[in-house]
């Protein structure tokens, strides 16, 4: 399950933006292990947004999931990788107070083996992407 680094959390901080690092495969293909995220803490969450939240049973653990739908009591969240688990199918609805923010942007850090100018240019063109609310493309959101 993707988990932002614990140092990255800035919930309710004076600056509403922070950086988090993804670990785990539950948001593949949208996010990959090692991706860095720009998180807008306190942002309004809509259906389809990729969000950072506290795990309902381990509140010292931060996770990244997609807000699938609004339900009584909070958000039903799902990972984009149906086989990874670790989402609302395991722990139910996530209360609003555990939702910390919305992911706005992701980038993949450059690996040390990419030294040639062509490799650096390819990395620069593909590493940084905004994270949009992918409402129509996610078959998993419609299936539940």
In angstroms, the CA 33 to CA 46 distance is 24
pLDDT > 60? residue 65 = yes
Token readout for 31 is 């996010």
In angstroms, the CA 135 to CA 18 distance is 25
pLDDT band at 5 (very low <50, low <70, confident <90, very high): low
Query: pTM above 0.75?
Result: yes
Is beta strand 128-130 parallel, antiparallel or unpaired with respect to 74-78? unpaired
Q: What is the mean pLDDT of residues 101-110?
A: 92
In angstroms, the CA 135 to CA 133 distance is 6
Query: Could you tell me the sign of the dihedral formed by the alpha carbons of 28, 86, 48, 59, in that order?
Result: negative
């Amino acid at each position: 399950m993707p988990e932002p680094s614990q140092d990255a959390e800035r919930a309710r901080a004076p600056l509403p933006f922070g950086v988090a690092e993804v670990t785990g495969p539950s948001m593949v293909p949208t996010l990959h292990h090692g991706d860095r995220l720009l998180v807008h803490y306190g942002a309004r969450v809509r259906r389809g947004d990729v969000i950072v939240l506290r795990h309902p049973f381990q509140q010292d653990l931060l996770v990244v999931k997609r807000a699938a739908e609004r339900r009584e009591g909070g958000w039903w969240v799902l990972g984009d990788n149906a086989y990874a688990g670790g989402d609302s199918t395991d722990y139910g609805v996530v209360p609003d107070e555990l939702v910390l923010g919305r992911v706005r942007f992701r980038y993949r850090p450059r690996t040390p083996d990419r030294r040639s100018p062509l490799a650096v240019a390819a990395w620069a063109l593909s590493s940084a992407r905004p994270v949009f609310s992918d409402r129509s493309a996610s078959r998993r959101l419609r299936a539940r």
